[in-house]
A and B are shown apart, each in its own frame.
Chain A
Amino acid sequence: MKTCSTIRKNIAKLFTHKTIAFLFISFFLALFCSKTYALAYSITPKPGSPLPTQVMTGKTVKAFYVVTNNTRRFLPNGFVKYLPPSVTQVTSKNTYPRSCAKYFNLGPQKSCILELLVSGSVNAANPNPRHHLFVCASNAPACAGTNYPLNVRLKNNEIVVTSPYAYFTEFLGNTVQVCQVNGSGELVNCSTTGSGFSGPYSIAFNPSKSFAYITNRLADSVFRCKVNKTSGALTECVGTGSGFSSPAGIAIDSKGKFAFIANSTSQSVLRCAIDALTGDLSGCSPTGDTQFKGAQMITLNSTNTYAYVSLADPQLAANEVDRCEMTASTGVLNNCIPTGSGFNQPIGIALNTKNNVAYVANSDNNFSSISRCIIQPSTGDFNNCAITGAGYIFDEPLGIALNAANSFAYIANSNQGEIVLCKINPLNGELASCAPTGPSGLALPLGITLVDL
């Protein structure tokens, strides 16, 4: 696209835009260049301000777009002609400078920030074009829409109208399954989703649940998939980022700015930047001040102050969980030291949302178990680690995840090809009443994640 844009500019220097030659050259140029649209205005979400996806009843949220004059001409009297119902333009006491007024003038390639107030649901699929964002000018009545329409769900009071889903990888089956979670915490209606995986290890979602990331350990790649929030299906899975070496665990920070990938072979943890619009990973580079021998899974606490990396490799004498201090703004990990004790080839790590209890899956085939540790608030250290869930025979448990209410734990019991559902005692965090849930005969279930879509 950049190359085509450059060629267009150079050709424009040779011709005025009214010559037939220019028209035909632009025509043939457009045939061979990528299929992107230009328009008089480009309207894109403001970087760093993701579009809202839900609004509470009686409340409002804001959306910010950058409106850019895409032409070589001065465009006076630009205005917002159409907006979805429940959306209004903010034209006073704006959040950012250079906000678009009710009528705004923009020079060539200049922009302003369009601030919108959302007070209700917005349906991006509304068939009425006049219920969509269009910016026009008196000299550009064809107007311009946006490729990033608002799509906002209404949340009724404090009741979160969401659908919980569980995703888990089948390492040997090269598949990812998605299940609905019913009111009893059981996994139901499971089906495979996405495609192209190779040794899928771990799965993580960005905060808005628009993208899922799956590590392909056998292909040295990380897939980024789009998430269908209605069905939970993963679609358009494509490779993203680079520098992976048997990527195992993956975690996304709560702002959706960084992804952390545990590289098993290169014994490192990569920190990648996440593009807010496309979800692509870029700039992946090692972080942490230690060599992560036998790196497996990585988990962040909800406040993004600590990261936990499980290290398990008998040949490397790796058998520990490292706790790293994390700088939320930069994603840099530092001061990585072993934490907790009594682990046996730890793989999966899960923290409750209160950041006071951690669970570690011990995958050693002679000492398969789940450890429950108390998290020291001031240091993030794991203390008083002890076996939990006694009474259920775990067989090389790998991944572990908790639901948002901290009431259920799900363990990928790999050797038995099953997912085990345990109830969590709200008083002490102990696991009890463990039993298989969902499909059986899984081909080495590994990473497991629960999300509310």
Chain B
Amino acid sequence: MNPKISQIISQKFTALLGLLIFFQAESILASQPEPSSEFRPMIAVSGGIATSKAGQSQLLSVPGDYTQYSYLANHQHYFQSIAGVFLGTQLPFNPSYPLSIGLSYYQPSTLTQKGTLLQGIDDLSSDLFNYRYRIKTRQLLAEIKLGKKMRHLQPYVSVGLGVAFNHADRYAVMVPPFLTFTPLFSAHRNHAFSYNLGAGMDLEINRHWLVGLGYRFSDFGKANLGQGYLDTALFPAVLSRSHVYLHQIIAQLTYLF
């Protein structure tokens, strides 16, 4: 894992832990109301904007081939939409700290990976070609959400663990016709461990309806293209992203039965 990303995750966990401790400390200091006695099934739909990097730089090489294939990812951030649904229940817990668990499904729009292939044996024989491919991903998580009631406002934190289903396809590289051969990769599907971390604010409209806005960080795990060919020969290396990270701003509408 990229050290910088690890640091970001570490910071997020620290912040999340701090929030949890804060809530716990306040609950200890405050008087303890009677716990709620009912489960309240709930359904929530969410949608928002997500952003991720356009790819991950890689250096591919093949034994016996003097050529270096350097895939230099475009480090721009791209925006896509994301939508999701949550089915679960609020637990009979401290009514001041609404706690809900359930299953959630999230699907961002297709991520386009772009970059430049630097292919050559050395500086005198290297050329640049633009490449691109798509990643389609979806997430299925067991999610837990803990809020704090402050009159009608409910700040919350959430965490989800589960699996992501990733599909990388439509690899294309812009090479002038009949100039040279470059590796061509096939489509590939895989699933990977996935998780969410989120925080935000819900607004209680009435006993049944909540509307909220929050931030979420997701890791969709590894996504990679399939088998490559250089002309007619198998190309043993594969173009991949070790982690597909998305930062999201999510709006959510929740109905409690």
Contact = CB atoms under 8 A, between A and B. Distances in A.
Interface of A: 5, 8-9, 11-12, 17-18, 22-24, 26-27, 30-31, 37-40, 70-73, 75, 81, 129, 132, 134, 138-147, 149
Interface of B: 59, 62, 64-68, 70, 72, 116, 118-128, 176-182, 230-231, 233
A145 B123 contact: no
Nearest to A18: B68
A146 B177 CA distance: 10
Contacts of B127: 30, 37-39
A33 B51 CA distance: 32
Contact of A9 (B72, B124, B178): B124
Given A27-B128, A141-B230, A40 B123 contact: no
Nearest to A8: B123
Given A26-B126, A37-B127, A37-B176, A73 B59 contact: no
A140 B67 contact: yes
A129 B176 CA distance: 11
A24 B75 CA distance: 13
Given A38-B126, A129-B178, A71 B121 contact: yes
A142 B124 contact: no
Contacts of B176: 37
A73 B128 contact: no
A143 B62 CA distance: 15
Contacts, number: 106
Contact of A142 (B59, B67, B70): B67
A140 B182 CA distance: 11
B72 A23 contact: yes
A419 to B, nearest CB: 40
Given A132-B178, A142-B180, A149-B178, A30 B126 contact: yes
A142 B70 CA distance: 14
B115 to A, nearest CB: 10
Interface centre among B120, B124, B127 (most CB of A within 10 A): B124
Given A27-B72, A142-B181, A38 B65 contact: no
Say whether chain A's binding surface is mostly helix, strand, loop, or mixed.
mixed
Contacts of B233: 141
Contacts of A26: 118, 123, 126
Contact of B123 (A11, A24, A37, A134): A11
B178 A142 contact: no
Contacts of B123: 8-9, 11-12, 17, 22, 26, 72
Given A18-B68, A37-B176, A73-B66, A143 B124 contact: no
B118 A143 contact: no
B184 to A, nearest CB: 11
A138 B66 CA distance: 9
A129 B230 CA distance: 13
A134 B180 CA distance: 8
Contact of B122 (A17, A24, A142, A145): A17
| The 4 residue pairs across chains A and B that have the minimum distance between CB atoms | A132-B178, A12-B123, A145-B178, A139-B66
B231 to A, nearest CB: 7
A379 B233 CA distance: 66
Given A23-B72, A139-B65, 6 more contacts: A12-B122, A138-B64, A140-B67, A141-B65, A141-B230, A146-B178
B72 A143 contact: no
A37 B180 CA distance: 10
B125 A23 contact: no
Contacts of A138: 64
Contacts of A141: 62, 65, 67, 181, 230-231, 233
A423 B245 CA distance: 80
Given A37-B176, A132-B178, A143-B180, A70 B125 contact: yes
Contacts of A40: 66-67, 120-121, 125
Q: Which of B64, B66, B68, B178 counts the most chain A CB atoms within 10 A? A: B178
Q: Which of A39, A132, A139, A149 has the most CB of B within 10 A?
A: A39
A23 B122 CA distance: 10
A188 B116 CA distance: 50
A134 B118 CA distance: 20
Given A26-B118, A142-B119, A142-B230, A72 B70 contact: no
